[in-house]
Amino acid sequence: MKANTDRNEDRTALVTGAGRGIGRAVAMDLSRRGIFVYINYRSGRETAQKTLEAILAENGEARLLQFDQTDQDACEQAVKEIVRERNRIDILVNNAGIRDDRLLAMMKKESWQRVIDTNLTGFFHVTKPVVKYMLKNRTGRIINITSAAGQTGNPGQVNYSASKAGLIGATKALAREVGNRGITVNAVAPGFIETDMIQGMDREEIAKTIPAGRLGKPGEVAALVSFLCSPKAAYVNGQVIGVNGGMI
């Protein structure tokens, strides 16, 4: 007996970086809508296992899928595995990302490269094999988790802002490439969300800069992602939608 009512689905989703933070909330929200979810993680197996257990506890269906999105071969193998097991892939949420902040004048090339490789080239590695299947099936939803930093730029985050602005450009271009094949590609741009990623930041000071007067919750990002994955969002394509408490 399924726990939730919204479960008349047969779709399959891949959520990258779904072991914790926003990715976990997205995986759980999609699962509550009856979608089979592949929970990708890079090295955090324990946290990914917790996401899996939380989904199974709600009678959802999911499976762990380890790969590092900076490794193109690993991404291609992982997508093949999904298609072999499920014979389909309907939803891709490109959520995995990192930051490595420093003022540009002090930034080592390594910090620049690591962030671009993960946040932007990782998108390419995962999305290319997925979009091939979606093109064949003439249906699909791709959601890219960008950032307010990619919209306005953020001091100390030139690398991160560049990667996230790049993701916005990629979203818009891909939306135009595949929009006539039943596939939508949109970007969700969170402001400050309570996850491990903002560890070490001064939450109280940040909250003062946000009209809502508080940071966001992972579930508030996940709710928008789920809407964009739903049939109701079929005519939303190539958009960048903020979840930022009015910050931008």
Shortest distance, position 23 Cβ to ligand NDP, whole Å: 5
Shortest distance, position 36 Cβ to ligand NDP, whole Å: 19
Catalytic status, residue 160: yes
Per-residue binding string, ligand NDP, 222-241, x by CB under 6 A, is --------------------
The amino acid at residue 223 is A
For ligand NDP, which residue of 68, 81, 100, 101 counts as binding (CB under 6 A)? Answer: 68
For ligand NDP, which residue of 12, 16, 31, 226 counts as binding (CB under 6 A)? Answer: 16
Per-residue binding string, ligand NDP, 107-126, x by CB under 6 A, is -----------x---x----
Instruction: Return left, alpha or beta for 100; rule: phi > 0 is left, psi -120 to 50 is alpha, else beta.
Output: beta
Q: Are 167 and 150 in contact (CB under 8 A)?
A: yes
For ligand NDP, which residue of 147, 161, 226, 237 counts as binding (CB under 6 A)? Answer: 147
Candidates 58, 59, 46, 57; CA nearest to 20 is 46
Query: How far is Cα of residue 88 from the mean position of the Cα atoms in its chain?
Result: 19
For ligand NDP, which residue of 23, 129, 242, 245 counts as binding (CB under 6 A)? Answer: 23
Question: How far apart, in whole angstroms, are the C-alpha atoms of residue 203 and residue 130?
Answer: 37
Shortest distance, position 8 Cβ to ligand NDP, whole Å: 29
Give 129's contacts (C-beta < 8 A, 6+ positions apart): 75, 76, 79, 80
187 counts as binding ligand NDP under rule CB under 6 A = no
Per-residue binding string, ligand NDP, 203-222, x by CB under 6 A, is --------------------
Shortest distance, position 200 Cβ to ligand NDP, whole Å: 12
Question: How far apart, in whole angstroms, are the C-alpha atoms of residue 97 and residue 94?
Answer: 9
DSSP 201-244: S-HHHHHHTSTTSS-B-HHHHHHHHHHHHSGGGTT--S-EEEES
For ligand NDP, which residue of 12, 31, 95, 184 counts as binding (CB under 6 A)? Answer: 95
Q: Are 54 and 41 in contact (CB under 8 A)?
A: no
Return the residue matching tokens 């789920």: 226
Residues designated catalytic: 160
Residues that bind ligand NDP (CB under 6 A): 16-17, 19-23, 40-44, 47, 68-70, 95-98, 118, 122, 145, 147, 190, 192-193, 195-198
